[in-house]
Amino acid sequence: MFDGGSCPQLSKKPKIFFFQACQGKTETKGVSVDDTDSVMECGLNKLSVVDSPNAKPLPTDETVHEKNDTIVAYSTVPGYIAMRHKYEGSWFINDLVDTFSEHACNNDILQLLVKVNDKVSRRRTKDGILQAIQTVQSLRKSLYFFPGYAVNR
């Protein structure tokens, strides 16, 4: 619906969506993490990147995939609940606003969303329930809000 195929005027323009909603009923208290664990232990060292045999350089014209230049940030991952304080509101939206207010002057949107996920991931309910955000993106360029402009609080 909000892509270059359905709306050609949106082609090559960033489209940003933030969703504050549960994506299921599952709660989690997380897993223990040992600071000494490594990628090698998970067997991820066997991954490799291989170019498609049919891959060709991009043409010099302005043809882009209709789904490009979109970023969607969800308050939680599929299947899980999103936390909201009775009076203070959503963890995700609060941390999103705080992080963007403080760091948008020198970080792109993906860096900002990593910071938001870090902040949200550090929160706990009184019962120890936690949350992680999910970001899905197809940006072709870094996207900055107000570079060099800092809000004084």
21-57, pLDDT tens digit by residue?
999 999 998 887 765 544 445 555 555 555 566 666 6
Name the DSSP letter for residue 134: E
The CATH number given to 1-29+62-144 is: 3.40.50.1460
Structure tokens at 145: 């809000």
User: Across residues 72-88, what is the average pLDDT?
Assistant: 94
pTM: 0.77
Calculate what percentage of the chain has a pLDDT beyond 70.
76
In angstroms, what is the C-alpha Rg of the chain?
19
* Residue 8: predicted pLDDT: 84
Domain coordinates of the chain in residue numbers? Answer: 1-29+62-144
